[in-house]
Structure 1
Amino acid sequence: MLAKVFPINLKPGKQAEAEAIVREFAPKGPEQEDGTLSFRVYRDPANVDYLLFVEHFADQAAYDAHTGSPAYQELIAGRFAELIVEFVEIDHELLVSI
């Protein structure tokens, strides 16, 4: 399993718009993808204009399919990307799960 974590700083005042795009994307992209095991996006109530994506994929091929999907290209690589100041992509491998 491949785990991806993305801390994302948004442009000032773009929190609501970014959240709306993520809500639109989830059922069109990750929910439809067999290899996407989980897709979670968190907001930090103490840190405005920030989101944390935590995603789990069956393998690298599933992640590549996810990022190559039409929904991802339109909503995340397209509209959402315009709202980002900075993000970091961090790969993780599962060690323990309860």
Structure 2
Amino acid sequence: MTTTIKPGIPNQQPPVQLRTQNAAAGSTASTQTASPVRASDDSVNITDSAKALDAASRADDPGRAAKLEKLRTDIESGTYKPDSQAIASKFLSMESQIGGAGSA
């Protein structure tokens, strides 16, 4: 069966119906109109280890705040010069840790 959708033509197909087997009548089938789907509430459970990880990542590190502030001022003033060799070395190190193509 092929259904073509054309604008302006109303849908002529009947509503979906469920057929259930009537246990008492043997092979006699009865038809019921499908009930609408009800929305349900979604919920999320967070494990204790995930909560601890979240708390640790939010913990204030005074040294980190000072480094970030210096980085911001260096970038704004135009004096920040990234070390491309150090960045490349870190990338290669991470790649070898996760088993990338660069590891042998």
Q: TM-score interval w.r.t. the shorter chain?
A: under 0.3
Name the TM-score, length of structure 2 as normaliser: 0.19
Name the TM-score, length of structure 1 as normaliser: 0.20
Larger-gyration structure (1/2): 2
More strand by share: 1
User: Which of 1 and 2 has higher RCO (CA within 8 Å, sep 6+)?
Assistant: 1
